[in-house]
Amino acid sequence: MNLANIILFLGAAFNFGSFIRAAFTFFEFKDPPTRQVKILSGLTLASQAAILLATLFGRVEWDLFFFIGMAIILLSSTLFWWCIQVNSEKKLTAAYDSNSPEHLMKKGPYALIRHPFYTSYMLTYIGGALGSKLWWALIPVIIPIFVYYHASNFEERKFSQSGLHQAYLEYKKQAGRFLPRLFR
pLDDT of amino acid 31 = 85
Q: Reduced to 3 states, what is the DSSP secondary structure of residue 69? A: helix
Q: Reduced to 3 states, what is the DSSP secondary structure of residue 93? A: strand
On the question of pLDDT at 37 being above 90, the answer is no
Best mean pLDDT range from 37-41, 52-56, 96-100: 52-56
pLDDT of amino acid 184 = 61
Question: Measured in Å, how far apart are the chain's first and last C-alpha atoms?
Answer: 46
Q: Which of 158, 19, 171 has its CA nearest to residue 107?
A: 171
What are the backbone dihedrals phi and psi of residue 113, each rounded to the nearest 5 degrees, phi first?
Answer: -135, 130
**Residue range 54-77, pLDDT digits in tens:** 999 999 999 999 999 999 999 999
28: β partners:
93
H-helix segments, 26-138: 35-57, 64-86, 116-132
pLDDT band for 29, please (50, 70, 90 cuts).
Answer: confident
